[in-house]
Chains A and B, each alone.
Chain A
Amino acid sequence: DIQMTQSPSSLSAFVGDRVIITCRASQSISNYLHWYQQRPGKAPKLLISAASGLQSGVPPRFSGSGSGTDFTLTINGLQPEDFATYYCQQSYNTLYTFGQGTSLEIK
């Protein structure tokens, strides 16, 4: 299976900050990389598909980039509702995998 490694595992930031979360694949996955946000007690929400495709209704302060093995999720101008856990997920082959998650907390 393709392993997905996110960093950092947790992150503290202020409202208004810019944060970057990284996701690294154990082999090249082209752009078959997607990002989710999960709030406590809720199902994950798709933010970005195919590395950089912002989903309808997701604020433009969220952006994604990368290809191959290294990917980033950037949040510009953190808002209170952005404090949540973020996951990357690969769909390069028929066996999907998630990263371990990045918990974003208010400083």
Chain B
Amino acid sequence: QVQLVQSGSEVKNPGASVRVSCRPSEYTFTDYYIHWVRQAPGQGLEWMGWIDPKSGATKSTQKFQGRVTMTRDTSISTVYMELSRLTSDDTAVYYCGRDVYGPFDYWGQGTLVTVSS
């Protein structure tokens, strides 16, 4: 059964950075892009960007450009999303999702990132 397992909850101070990991399993890691989506409390889904695990190429929406870094480690089949210069507006659940040529068929369980002093 395909799974995407994410790292645990984080609490960060404003101005800090956070790194969330996503480890897919039960399929070939490099076959599908991984996307990052976040959801602030009581709000909708917000698409952030994607990474191609095969090449390492990334793309993110303009809102996060300069603040988000997506990387992968093929040796351990894991992708990472790092968000810098955190503010309280970045408090959200962060999800990774597997892109099957458009839709996301499998999602991680979500990682709650809380930004608070």
Contacts and interface: CB of A to CB of B under 8 A. Distances in A.
A44 B107 contact: yes
Nearest to A95: B61
Nearest to A87: B45
Interface of A: 1, 32, 34, 36, 38, 43-46, 49-50, 55, 85, 87, 89, 91, 94-101
B59 A95 contact: yes
B: contact size bracket:
20 to 34
The prevalent SS among residues of A at the interface is loop
B103 A49 contact: yes
Interface in B18-68: 35, 37, 44-47, 50, 59, 61-62
B102 A43 contact: no
B68 to A, nearest CB: 13
Contacts of B102: 32, 34, 49-50, 91
Contacts of A85: 44
